[in-house]
Chains A and B, each alone.
Chain A
Amino acid sequence: DSGVTQTPKHLITATGQRVTLRCSPRSGDLSVYWYQQSLDQGLQFLIQYYNGEERAKGNILERFSAQQFPDLHSELNLSSLELGDSALYFCASSVGTRGANVLTFGAGSRLTVL
């Protein structure tokens, strides 16, 4: 157990639907990151939050949004889902925002869009 908790572990839904993925960071970590991993795109950085505020944005689609709450957990919202959104979504956390900080990853949420 890495200390980063992601729910749900598996999710199957239909095109056009909306889902929310949840992440609780490791105790003491203030930064949360979201990544998408698919066979054709590899591991793609989506977005980072630090202590409730957006810190960095990667290849996140406009249909996707995220937030980090005062208790530091984070949610990734995916809407108007398409078949191509099927992927493994990882959350990671770190203490701060410096490059030497190690990321601790959760086990991932596997999204299947039918």
Chain B
Amino acid sequence: AQSVTQLDSHVSVSEGTPVLLRCNYSSSYSPSLFWYVQHPNKGLQLLLKYTSAATLVKGINGFEAEFKKSETSFHLTKPSAHMSDAAEYFCVVTPYNNNDMRFGAGTRLTVKP
């Protein structure tokens, strides 16, 4: 079985400062890991995914995440926050061989001017 825990329900940063959204996972199998973003009143959009290739994954809009097996973590980072990054972010884990996707509870990112 797999599960995912997003360690912060709300993160607030100032524009231009780094973003760190934390995600820990549990999986019995080699997992695929994803980060999705949801802007207000919109559907979820894929930011990036890890599927056992390079451990540092680059996504859209300057986001990246690092898969750390020893720490069972897949934290999302961005060097410099932009106002348009304000949204809800979801970490997702799934086994490599099926779509039993488990979503985290989400982290709401607020960006202050």
Hey, which bits of chain A sit against chain B, CB under 8 A? Answer: 2, 4, 31, 33, 42-43, 45, 48, 55-56, 90, 92, 94, 97-108
| Residues of B in contact with A (beta carbons under 8 Å apart) | 31-32, 34, 36, 42-46, 49, 51, 90, 94-101, 103, 105-106
Instruction: Give chain B residues whose Cβ lies under 8 Å from the Cβ of A105.
Output: 36, 43-45
Point out the residues of chain B lying under 8 angstroms from A90, CB to CB: 43-44
How long is the Cα–Cα vector from A107 to B39 in the complex, in angstroms? 10
Chain A residues near B31: list those with CB within 8 A. 99
Please give me the residue from chain B that is nearest to A42 by CB atom: B105
Partner of A107, one of B43, B51, B95, B98: B43
Question: Which residues of chain B are near A106, meaning CB under 8 Å?
Answer: 43
In the assembled complex, which residues on chain A have CB atoms less than 8 Å from the CB atom of B100?
56, 99
Q: Within 8 Å CB of B98, what residues of A?
A: 56, 97-99
Which residue of the partner chain A has the closest CB to B50? A100
- Contact (Cβ within 8 A) A102 B99: no
Nearest-neighbour CB distance to chain A for B53, whole angstroms, equals 10
